[in-house]
């Protein structure tokens, strides 16, 4: 059993922290909205703290799952930040999707304080977090990863170290790039089926069993056809991630024409008032355009 602090109780972090308790670990949580941390502690027989620094006191591992670069900096740094309260030799595991720039910054800051830092962004959505079957892609020192991997296993179906610090975030960018193109392709296929007078469900039943099949098709086509976009990963968050991808592409010299185009399509969805719709709402954009 390990003593663990979990920072950030959003739709992903809340169930992830619960899986750690179910695996027998002692968990103290922190959330910007204290009432949510208190509710989690009551539901899972854990504890909560008012600041990240208080939450990490005595922790062997600290896991974070917050919103963006600035959110991560705020829970890590400063007088009340996690780094100020972590003991030498402890391991910080960041599950947030953030830029490689902030990962490099915090890896260096942690190392200077004798703390290990593993970037470990996740994929699998809210359902994956709730069912404990996330995909976790990691970057960092191999020794730190080997310590963290069994802990991460509480909510992961697969967990792999891809390379040195930052490799996890770069891999998550690959994930988001692939998803953007897949969702747009699925949206166009369903839109085409509708315009051609075909039964979209019958079409997917057939094509999903061939080379066109994908997770997106299997898990999103029915809700797309039902005009239901109130679940899953929000467009606002996807645009944040695609912005990270496009910035990194500029730095690395990668060419991402489809990603750049789909990012603008998501901007159109935001203009429709769909910032909180899930990413499959690209289909609704096509429907609205006629």
> Domain-by-domain residue ranges, the chain?
3-163, 170-289
What is d(CA 95, CA 137) in angstroms, rounded to the nearest whole number? 9
CATH dotted code for 3-163: 3.40.50.720
The CATH number, out of the four listed (1.10.1040.10, 1.20.1070.10, 3.40.50.300, 3.40.50.1100), of the domain defined by the range 170-289: 1.10.1040.10
Amino acid 41: pLDDT: 98
pLDDT of 232 > 90? The answer is no
CA distance 230 to 223: 9
CA 153-155-161 angle, 5° bins: 45
Average pLDDT over residues 22-30: 98
By the 8 A CB rule, do 25 and 4 touch?
yes
> Residue 150 above 90 pLDDT?
yes
pLDDT at 264 over 80: yes
Q: Of the listed 36, 45, 111, 172, which one is catalytic? A: 172
Range list of H helices, the chain: 13-22, 34-44, 52-55, 69-76, 82-85, 100-112, 125-131, 142-152, 167-195, 200-207, 215-225, 235-252, 257-271, 282-289
Which one, of 211, 244, 205, lies nearest residue 225 by Cα? Answer: 205
Residue 231 has a pLDDT of: 79
State the Cα–Cα distance between residues 276 and 230, nearest whole angstrom: 7
Non-local (6+) Cβ contacts of 71 within 8 A are: 8, 96
CA 208 to chain centre: 26
Is 172 a residue of the active site? Answer: yes
Mean pLDDT, the chain, rounded, equals: 97
Residue 256 has a pLDDT of 98
| pLDDT, mean of residues 196-217 | 97
Mean pLDDT in residue range 114-125 = 97
């Amino acid at each position: 059993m390990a003593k663990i602090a979990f920072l950030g109780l959003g739709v992903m972090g809340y169930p992830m922290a619960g899986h750690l308790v179910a695996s027998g670990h002692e968990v103290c949580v922190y959330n910007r909205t204290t009432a949510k941390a208190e509710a989690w502690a009551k539901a899972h027989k854990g504890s909560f703290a008012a600041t990240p620094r208080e939450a990490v006191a005595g922790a062997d591992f600290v896991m974070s799952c917050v919103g963006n670069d600035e959110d991560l900096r705020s829970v890590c740094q400063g007088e009340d930040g996690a780094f100020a309260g972590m003991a030498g030799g402890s391991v910080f595991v960041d599950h947030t999707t953030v830029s490689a720039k902030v990962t490099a910054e915090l890896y260096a800051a942690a190392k200077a304080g004798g703390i290990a830092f593993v970037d470990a962004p996740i994929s699998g959505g809210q359902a994956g977090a709730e069912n404990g079957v996330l995909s976790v892609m990691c970057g960092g020192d191999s020794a730190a990863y080997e310590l963290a991997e069994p802990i991460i296993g509480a909510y992961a179906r697969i967990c792999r170290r891809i390379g040195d610090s930052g490799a996890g975030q770069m891999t998550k960018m690959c994930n988001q790039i692939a998803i953007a193109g897949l969702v747009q392709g699925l949206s166009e296929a369903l839109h085409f089926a509708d315009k051609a007078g075909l039964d979209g469900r019958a079409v997917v039943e057939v094509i999903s069993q061939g080379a066109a099949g994908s997770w997106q098709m299997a898990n999103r086509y029915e809700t797309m056809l039902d005009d239901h976009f109130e679940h899953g990963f929000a467009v606002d968050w996807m645009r944040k991630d695609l912005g990270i991808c496009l910035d990194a592409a500029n730095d690395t010299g990668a060419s991402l024409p489809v990603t750049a185009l789909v990012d603008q399509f998501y901007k159109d969805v935001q203009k429709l008032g769909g910032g909180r719709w899930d990413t499959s709402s690209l289909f609704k954009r096509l429907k609205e355009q006629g």
